[in-house]
Amino acid sequence: MTTGKVIAVTGASRGIGSAIVEELARRGHTVGCLSRKGVGPEDREVGGELIHLTCDMEIESQITEALGALAERAGRIDGLVNNAGLHQEGRSQNFKTADFEKILTTNVTGTFIACREAYPHLVANGGGLIVNIGSFYEILGARYNLAYSCSKAAMGALTRVLSVEWAEQKIRLIDVAPGYVVTDLNRDYMARESFRDFVRQRVPIGEPCEPEEVARLVATLYAEDLPHLTGETIVLDGAQNINQ
């Protein structure tokens, strides 16, 4: 058994999730890799102690079973990273109700269920940290992104409310809200000169974020004992949202 923490990561197979798995594992933590396929990172080679678990965030029983299996196999749960999520653009006047509800089910309801199901494990362990991966869209008026923006705003609210309710149990929650992040799914689009020009104009730092930077922030939150840091949203967008 590793001397590090035992941390569950949802949406662990690709993108930001796989980067978080890699960074946590590199720092000696046991990582529960929760994904629909029941696999760990598919877009990078990751060593360390990984426990692969099948978990569709739209299926409540799978969330419960995955976290229970992780606690059984690893002996405890110290933390949870709610990273899994859906993103779909569309003009609001034409957006289908089913698509809107699907995004909220995965991004909000799934996150709530994971937090609730992790709660008894964290209490039994004397407390812990839940990191929710939000988005800077939760504080912007991003056109054609109504469902996604609503879901991420709800994630910020969920973080704040649970941080107050669960403080006595020494359970902390942080909402990490990245800006534009380059992943294998959007790399070609973000490499376009038109997008690069937009970033240079709107993002003071002049470039989008890499998944590894988000992962280092998440890992840092687990590395430090900061009892009073809870309920906050940390925006990681290169100062875009405050750029006037």
C-alpha–C-alpha distance, residues 213 and 23, integer Å: 10
Has residue 139 been placed in a domain? yes
Has residue 110 been placed in a domain? yes
Has residue 1 been placed in a domain? no
Strands (E) across 120-170 are located at 128-133
Tally of domains within the chain: 1
φ and ψ of 171, to 5 deg: -105, 120
Is 180 annotated as catalytic?
Answer: no
Which candidate in 148, 180, 189, 222 is catalytic? 148
Per-residue confidence in pLDDT tens, the chain, 244 aa: 446 999 999 999 999 999 999 999 999 999 999 999 999 999 899 999 999 999 999 999 999 999 999 999 999 999 999 999 999 999 999 999 999 999 999 999 999 999 999 999 999 999 999 999 999 999 999 999 999 999 999 999 999 999 999 999 999 999 999 999 988 767 887 888 888 898 898 889 988 889 999 999 999 999 999 999 999 999 999 898 888 7
Has residue 244 been placed in a domain? no
* Domain carrying residue 167: 6-236
Has residue 243 been placed in a domain? no
Has residue 167 been placed in a domain? yes
Cα-based distances in Å from 111 to 117, 120, 210: 10, 16, 23
C-alpha–C-alpha distance, residues 223 and 65, integer Å: 27
| CATH label of the domain that carries residue 115 | 3.40.50.720
Has residue 109 been placed in a domain? yes
- Bin 223: left if φ > 0, else alpha if -120 < ψ < 50, else beta: alpha
Has residue 220 been placed in a domain? yes
Please give the single-letter amino acid code of residue 128: G
